[in-house]
């Protein structure tokens, strides 16, 4: 039977607006050639590092569940990826489910462009409780009801270190979560989540309001970067009447404009990159 990607669930929350879903087992298999034969004499599975990655347009629900630094995957907060069985090309009520029981799920990158829906790339790392129990299980699953995907956000405004840029085309927020897993005692499954590279958020804005780039000064300017995303009305006509469903992401750090580019008679654009850092009290990237 044919199957199609269908839904993602974290604990009791169905994460809507999924546009891409990738469930990986990530086996590390070795087969070395030794003396006496041109063929490997022993193939062995050294490790498996399962993960589930996906992309969602329902960024408000996803960021509420994950924050800017991720959320723990636990027995009470499992991560489930469903693939629905197709009947005559249409979704049925059955399918296949892949479940992670322990680990970390986190936002990787948010991208939004002028008149486009904001999308959030989400990743995960799984671990075993004891190094021998598989962190991923899969099999037949009953497919639940989807949450409607009609809560979309797009770009509204950008302020960088106190300077409001009025004509912006693209924003990319890299949450900078350098998560990995670590195993011990030659166990096939890893049993610890690590973040040896830390959490190093960056924000990149592409603006056509290039006359204001000089206000950032050549050697950069420190201050908050405030990105506001506004929600389309669920009817698809215009935007929400008030700003209560706006999403505001604030980064603290140093901002530099990297170059000013013009192509033929096209409009010149200037990318601004902000490297966020911790001020000793507040997280370098927050959501409100």
- Check: CB of residue 79 under 8 Å from CB of residue 142: no
State residue 264's pLDDT score.
87
Q: Determine the pLDDT at residue 261.
A: 86
The answer to whether 20 and 54 have CB atoms below 8 angstroms apart is: yes
> What average pLDDT score do residues 174-190 get?
97
pTM for the model stands at: 0.94
Written as six digits, the tokens of 147 are 């949450």
Does 175 map to a domain? yes
Q: Is 154 helix (H, G, I), strand (E, B) or coil?
A: strand
- Quick one: which of 4, 91, 109 has its CA closest to 53? 109
**Residue 205 belongs to domain spanning:** 3-29+48-287
Q: Quick check: is 38 in a domain?
A: no
Burial (CB < 10 A; 0-12, 13-18, 19+), residue 124, is: buried
- DSSP label at 213? G
Contacts with 265 (C-beta within 8 Å, 6 or more apart), sequence order:
none
Whether residue 205 is contained in a domain is answered as yes
Number of domains into which the chain is organized? 1
pLDDT of residue 233: 94
Q: Is residue 56 part of a domain?
A: yes
Kindly indicate the confidence band of residue 142, based on its pLDDT and cuts at 50, 70 and 90: confident
Backbone angles phi, psi at 213, to 5 degrees: -60, -30
- Burial class of residue 194 in the structure, from the number of CB atoms within 10 Å of its CB (0-12 exposed, 13-18 middle, 19+ buried): middle
In a domain, 43, yes or no: no
Within-domain flag for 60: yes
- Mean pLDDT for all residues in the chain: 94
CB of 124 closer than 8 Å to CB of 82: no
Q: Is residue 211 part of a domain?
A: yes
């Amino acid at each position: 039977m044919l199957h199609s990607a269908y839904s993602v669930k974290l604990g009791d929350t169905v994460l809507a607006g999924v546009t891409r879903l990738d469930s990986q087992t990530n086996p590390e298999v070795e087969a070395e050639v030794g003396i006496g034969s041109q063929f490997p004499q022993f193939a062995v599975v050294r490790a498996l590092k399962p993960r589930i990655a996906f992309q969602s347009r329902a960024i408000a629900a996803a960021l509420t569940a994950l924050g800017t630094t991720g959320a723990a995957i636990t027995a009470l907060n499992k991560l489930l990826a469903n693939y629905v069985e197709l009947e005559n090309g249409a979704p049925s009520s059955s399918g296949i489910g892949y479940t992670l029981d322990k680990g970390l799920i986190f936002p990787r990158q948010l991208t939004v462009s002028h008149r486009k829906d904001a999308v959030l790339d989400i990743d995960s790392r799984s671990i075993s409780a004891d190094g021998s129990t598989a962190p991923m299980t899969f099999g037949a699953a009953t497919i639940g009801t989807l949450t409607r995907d009609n809560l979309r956000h797009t770009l509204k405004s950008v302020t960088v270190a106190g300077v409001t840029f009025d004509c912006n085309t693209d924003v990319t927020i890299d949450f900078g979560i350098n998560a990995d897993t670590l195993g011990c005692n030659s166990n096939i499954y890893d049993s610890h989540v690590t973040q040896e590279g830390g959490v190093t958020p960056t924000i990149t804005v592409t603006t056509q309001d290039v006359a204001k780039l000089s206000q950032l000064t050549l050697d950069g300017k420190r201050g908050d970067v405030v990105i506001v995303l506004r929600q389309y009305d669920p009817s698809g006509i215009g935007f929400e009447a008030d700003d209560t469903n706006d999403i505001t992401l604030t980064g603290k750090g140093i901002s530099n404009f990297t170059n000013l580019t013009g192509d033929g008679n096209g409009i010149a654009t200037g990318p601004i990159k902000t490297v966020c850092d911790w001020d000793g009290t507040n997280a370098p990237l927050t959501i409100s």
